Amino acid sequence: MTLNLGEMADNAVPVATLVEGEEAQVEITKVDNQLDNQEKPYLMLTLSNLDLDGNYADIREFVDTGERTPPFVKNEADERKWRNTLATKMKAFFESFDIQDEDRNIPETWEGKTGTIIAKVKDDAKYGLSNNVKRYVGTPDGA
């Protein structure tokens, strides 16, 4: 079979963005352990939209492991505030994807989990529109 790149390009379906502020069901399809420019670890998640009717771009979500100190942390008060923000985000993440206590420190077990996010659409001058996570939606009862 000969690949016809011109025909393929003519039939391309534009990549869609999610609706800003609305809920979306996503699946964790990839978890990468990476290092930042200071050799501190973080996780990069790939979240795929479960709406099969749209050609949605995947979401690349940075997950801070708490082992690096962001440049905006200048004192103990900043550190406490940053750690609490990180803890709150991770609590909602674990609730949204139903990640149990025993799996919270084993990111490899997160692949295939599904959860709910509130979508954020970012418009970057260099890369155009991209889907992002505004926040994770935890369990309805907060448990």
Give the model's pLDDT for residue 141.
45
Other CB atoms within a 10 A radius of the CB of residue 17 amount to 19
Give the amino acid at 9: A
Render pLDDT for 72-125 as a digit per residue (tens, 0 to 9): 889 999 989 988 988 999 999 999 999 999 999 999 999 999 999 999 999 888
Give the model's pLDDT for residue 114.
96
Give the model's pLDDT for residue 1.
64
Give the model's pLDDT for residue 52.
66
* Dist. CA 49–CA 88, nearest whole Å: 23
* Dist. CA 63–CA 42, nearest whole Å: 6
Domain residue spans of the chain: 15-137
